[in-house]
Structure 1
Amino acid sequence: MDLRKLEPAGLKRIREKDVGPRDIRWLVQVDVERAALEERWGATEIAHDDFAKWFCFAFSPAEGEAFILLLQVDHPVAGFVLSVTKGLFSPEAAERIVQALDIPGARITRTNSEATP
């Protein structure tokens, strides 16, 4: 995917259930407030897995690509976990995703070491 096309207008909210857990990997931690995401992108979804209950926002910026922002409901930490599909698994894509979210002050605080060159 051409990262230059990652713009707010190109992001499409999708259902969390449409993002297969086997298709995504943790990429970065994003310091962003849930309230700011909800104001810009609408209400969170609640997802459940074997480990926890999660607030989540899922997006598809292009055919075949997706990313999801997750925050544990019962034990929230600072920021959301950003997990992405294979085509978005890079620090450059993470930066573009955070920009495309269009939330003032949102920033990456931690990056998966497997994604760094």
Structure 2
Amino acid sequence: MSPRDIRWLVQVDVERAALEERWGASEVARDDFAEWFCFAFATAEGEAFVLLREVAHPPAPGFVLSVTKGLFSLEAADRIVRRLDVAGAQITHTNAEAAS
């Protein structure tokens, strides 16, 4: 998945430890700006989504959920967060473009 193929959709209040307990250890991805804890997933339909959190200086608690074009909706974000199957995970902020 290329970074230009995904857009941030929502911020999810969820602990890294809870994600790792459910889904295994996070990967660490690097770009020109920072290192990121990363959980990446693909759907059977070929879409993808990723949960990201800056390693050193996260600006907010939780993870950013970024998605490919076919998942860019608040309905998809709700489904993804439910299917993460992590107690207490909830959406805290949304991309205004997805809300319109």
Please classify the TM superposition score into its range, dividing by the shorter chain length: over 0.9
SS at match of 1:68: strand
Match of residue 36, structure 1, among 1, 18, 27: 18
Instruction: Name the residue aligned to 1:92.
Output: 75
**Structure 1 unaligned residues grouped into runs of 5+:** 1-18
SS at match of 2:36: strand
- CA distance in structure 1 between the partners assigned to 2:57 and 2:37 by the alignment: 11
- CA distance in structure 2 between the partners assigned to 1:75 and 1:83 by the alignment: 19
Instruction: Name the residue aligned to 1:60.
Output: 42
- CA distance in structure 2 between the partners assigned to 1:61 and 1:32 by the alignment: 21
Deviation at 1:91, TM superposition (A): 0.4
Moved over 2 A (4+): none
- CA distance in structure 1 between the partners assigned to 2:2 and 2:18 by the alignment: 26
RMSD of aligned C-alpha atoms?
0.7
| Residues matched between the structures, number | 99
- CA distance in structure 1 between the partners assigned to 2:2 and 2:78 by the alignment: 23
Q: Deviations over 1:67-93 (max 9, x none)?
A: 000000001220100000000000000
Deviation at 1:63, TM superposition (A): 3.0
- CA distance in structure 2 between the partners assigned to 1:80 and 1:115 by the alignment: 17
Instruction: Name the residue aligned to 1:75.
Output: 57
**Structure 2 unaligned residues grouped into runs of 5+:** none
TM-score by length of 2: 0.96
- CA distance in structure 1 between the partners assigned to 2:65 and 2:3 by the alignment: 13
